[in-house]
């Protein structure tokens, strides 16, 4: 166990250096390489290796002795924006005013590595213990500084590290139950430009300065960087039903995790005198935000057809309706920074198959369809340009020796071209940020490897 704690310390250090990219919403389901090969269709019923700690702790009772799994996932999202008539708030006062200016932002998606580590022990008493260290949420997007959506987003990065000890017990031949505790660390950094030129040009009645500073709209940009971190806590639990020697059904739940983020807001290129006139706005200050990370509920079927073939299916519901808004509260009295989200609960449906041509070799395939939690183009933001996804996956595993095995998997996600349309200014916070309007050419590639050690 002492050696295991040393490994955990190393993994946590690695998590501090990586930059995970976003999956559905900004959840990361990439928690198992063997599972990725089947598009995670086995999910809460497969109980194939120690990664079951994350998907359903009850499945630990199906493992033998000691198991350690270390996995790495390279996640490469592509997100290229095309401007399609973005508008500027001054056009509401003067139709001849210039539209929202700037380029398309380049490649908004950023590749990242998501590692995970799992360890399990199964005892003769029927009890099992497990420990998982992983990154259940993450995102990383980055745009050119002068792009058309710069007032909405420039750089966005969110990293999490989740430490998940779990226990399980086999009640009888048909039923196992398991539960775990989750301690999740979150670190985030967000940047965007501020259109001080337009803020100056707006009439006083509209909240501007009426031209008092003589600034040019879209020509006097400043910048804000928000940084913060926090710890949040939750739980997970699961049931595993062995209906027969060939049929298993798993049910698993992961709770919400509330993150009360505290950090700093740093402003740059603020026009001279503007902070003084506003009573201290746009000065370095502390900031707070509350983020409720969603719960998940999964139900999976694992069916053994014969000695060579297995098939599996999964339905997972993620409670994204908890993500209503992203609100930053500034200690210097500046009005809250708000982004209205109004996300909806979403579903993911997966099917997979496994073929075992020899005792040492296993081949996996899978597919899944996943709805985006973002309700419409008005609520989509360039920080998270998410859309409906179709997964196609392949994978393989090979047992090198009796105690050592390796797995590899690849997935390509076809993303239904996400659209953004904030041109109506129906969300008040978007007026000064601009009526960003356009669409993304988006896709995701995932390549993963995993080492399995059993004793």
Kindly tell me if the per-residue pLDDT of 429 is higher than 60: yes
CB 250 within 8 A of CB 56: yes
3-state secondary structure of 304: strand
Q: What pLDDT does residue 8 have?
A: 45
Q: Which residues contact 129 (CB under 8 A, 6 or more apart)?
A: 60, 120, 121, 123, 165, 166, 167
Q: Which helix (H) or strand (E) holds 13?
A: helix 2-15
Q: How confident is the model at residue 192 (pLDDT cuts 50, 70, 90)?
A: very high
Question: Residue 246 belongs to what domain range?
Answer: 2-454
The CA-to-CA distance between both ends of the chain, in Å, stands at 14
Q: What pLDDT does residue 424 have?
A: 86
In this structure, what CATH number is given to the domain that contains residue 300? Answer: 2.40.160.60
pLDDT digits (tens, 9 = 90+) for 115-170: 999 999 999 888 999 999 999 999 999 999 999 999 999 999 999 999 999 999 99
Mean of all residue pLDDT scores within the chain: 92
Kindly tell me if the per-residue pLDDT of 12 is higher than 80: no
Q: How confident is the model at residue 207 (pLDDT cuts 50, 70, 90)?
A: confident
pLDDT digits (tens, 9 = 90+) for 91-106: 988 888 899 999 999 9
Q: What pLDDT does residue 67 have?
A: 95
- The predicted model gives 110-118 an average pLDDT of 92
Number of structural domains in the chain? 1
pTM comes to 0.92
Is the sign of the CA dihedral 243, 248, 303, 401 positive or negative? negative
Q: How confident is the model at residue 1 (pLDDT cuts 50, 70, 90)?
A: very low
Percent of the chain's residues with pLDDT above 70: 95
Q: What pLDDT does residue 18 have?
A: 47
- The predicted model gives 435-444 an average pLDDT of 96
CB 417 within 8 A of CB 78: no
pLDDT digits (tens, 9 = 90+) for 335-347: 999 999 999 999 9
Q: What pLDDT does residue 95 have?
A: 86
CB 68 within 8 A of CB 133: no
Q: What pLDDT does residue 25 have?
A: 79
Q: What pLDDT does residue 318 have?
A: 97
Q: Which residues pair with 354 in a beta bridge?
A: 310, 364
Kindly tell me if the per-residue pLDDT of 29 is higher than 80: yes
pLDDT digits (tens, 9 = 90+) for 313-338: 999 999 999 999 999 999 999 999 99
Q: How confident is the model at residue 5 (pLDDT cuts 50, 70, 90)?
A: very low
pLDDT digits (tens, 9 = 90+) for 42-79: 899 999 999 999 999 999 999 999 999 999 999 999 99
Q: Which residues contact 410 (CB under 8 A, 6 or more apart)?
A: 393, 394, 395, 445, 446, 447, 448
Q: What pLDDT does residue 24 have?
A: 66
Q: How confident is the model at residue 352 (pLDDT cuts 50, 70, 90)?
A: very high
Instruction: Using alpha carbons, select from 250, 253, 251 the residue that is nearest to residue 235.
Output: 253
Percent of the chain's residues with pLDDT above 90: 85
- The predicted model gives 185-192 an average pLDDT of 97
Q: Measured between alpha carbons, how far is 371 from 75 in angstroms, rounded to an integer? A: 19
């Amino acid at each position: 166990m002492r050696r295991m704690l040393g490994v955990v310390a190393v993994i946590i250090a690695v998590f501090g250096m990586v930059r995970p990219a976003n999956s559905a919403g900004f959840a990361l389901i990439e928690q198992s390489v063997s599972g990725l090969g089947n598009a995670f269709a086995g999910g809460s019923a497969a109980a194939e290796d120690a990664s079951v700690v994350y998907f359903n702790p009850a499945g630990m009772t199906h493992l033998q002795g000691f198991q350690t799994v270390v996995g790495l996932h390279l996640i490469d999202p592509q997100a290229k924006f095309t401007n399609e008539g973005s508008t500027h708030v001054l056009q509401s006062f003067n139709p001849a005013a210039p539209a929202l200016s700037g380029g398309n932002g380049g490649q908004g998606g950023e590749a990242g590595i998501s590692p995970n580590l799992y360890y399990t022990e199964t005892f003769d008493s029927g009890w099992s213990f497990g420990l998982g260290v992983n990154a259940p949420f993450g995102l990383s997007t980055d745009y050119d500084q002068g792009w058309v959506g710069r007032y909405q987003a420039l750089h966005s990065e969110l990293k999490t590290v989740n430490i998940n000890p779990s226990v399980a017990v086999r009640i009888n031949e048909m039923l196992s139950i398991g539960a775990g505790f989750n301690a999740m660390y979150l670190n985030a950094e967000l940047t965007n430009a501020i259109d001080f030129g337009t803020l100056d040009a707006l009439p006083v009645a509209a909240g501007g300065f009426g031209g008092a500073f003589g600034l040019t709209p879209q020509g006097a940009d400043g910048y804000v960087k928000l940084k913060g971190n926090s710890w949040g806590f939750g739980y997970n639990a699961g049931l595993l039903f062995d209906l027969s020697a060939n049929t298993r059904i798993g049910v698993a739940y992961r709770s919400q995790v509330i993150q009360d983020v505290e950090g700093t807001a740093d402003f740059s290129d603020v026009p001279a005198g503007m902070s003084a006139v506003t009573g201290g706005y746009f000065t370095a200050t502390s900031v707070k935000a509350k983020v409720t990370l969603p719960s998940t509920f999964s139900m999976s079927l694992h069916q053994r057809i014969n000695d060579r073939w297995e098939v599996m299916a999964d339905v997972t519901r993620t409670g994204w309706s908890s993500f209503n808004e992203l609100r930053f509260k500034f200690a210097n009295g500046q009005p809250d920074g708000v982004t209205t989200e109004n996300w909806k609960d979403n579903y993911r449906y997966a099917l997979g198959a496994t073929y075992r041509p020899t005792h040492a070799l296993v081949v996996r395939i899978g597919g899944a369809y996943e709805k985006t939690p973002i309700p419409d183009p008005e609520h989509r933001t360039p920080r998270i340009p998410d859309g409906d996804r179709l997964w196609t996956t392949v994978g393989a595993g090979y047992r090198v020796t009796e105690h050592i095995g390796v797995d590899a998997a690849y997935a390509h996600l076809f993303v239904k071209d996400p659209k953004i349309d904030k041109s109506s200014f129906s969300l008040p916070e978007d007026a000064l940020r601009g009526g960003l309007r356009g669409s993304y050419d988006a896709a995701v590639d995932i390549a993963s490897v995993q080492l399995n050690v059993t004793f």
